[in-house]
Amino acid sequence: MAKLTAKQRKAVPKSKQGLLKAKGPRGGAPRGNFPMPDRAHAANAKARAAQGVKKGTLSSSQKAKIDAKANKILKKGKKGAKK
């Protein structure tokens, strides 16, 4: 999984963000957490969300939202995969 630069992270569409904060830094536009531009990032987001719930930094409903978006991305990539 390649690291995302700040510019790449900002370019990830909202539909591929796990969670959106209500406001960005300094009261700006909403910013996303858990970017999922590809399958590797989606799988990683699910793992990090599980860790967040265990640690107490994420609620189970937030994890469910992240998992739902990640599962959509993981299913899309699976359709074209060879067995």
Q: What is the DSSP string of 50-76?
A: HHHHHHTSS-HHHHHHHHHHHHHHHHH
Q: How crowded is residue 17: how many other Cβ atoms within 10 Å of its Cβ?
A: 21
Name the amino acid, one letter, at 40: A
Phi-psi region of 30 (alpha: psi -120 to 50; beta: other; left: phi over 0): beta
pTM: 0.71
The closest alpha carbon to 1, from 52, 49, 35, 51, belongs to 35
What local confidence, expressed as pLDDT, does residue 81 receive? Answer: 55
Q: pLDDT tens-digit profile of 38-66?
A: 999 999 999 999 998 898 888 888 899 99
What local confidence, expressed as pLDDT, does residue 18 receive? Answer: 83
Beta-carbon contacts of residue 24 (< 8 Å; ≥ 6 apart): 30, 31
Question: 10 near 23, Cβ under 8 Å?
Answer: no
What local confidence, expressed as pLDDT, does residue 29 receive? Answer: 54
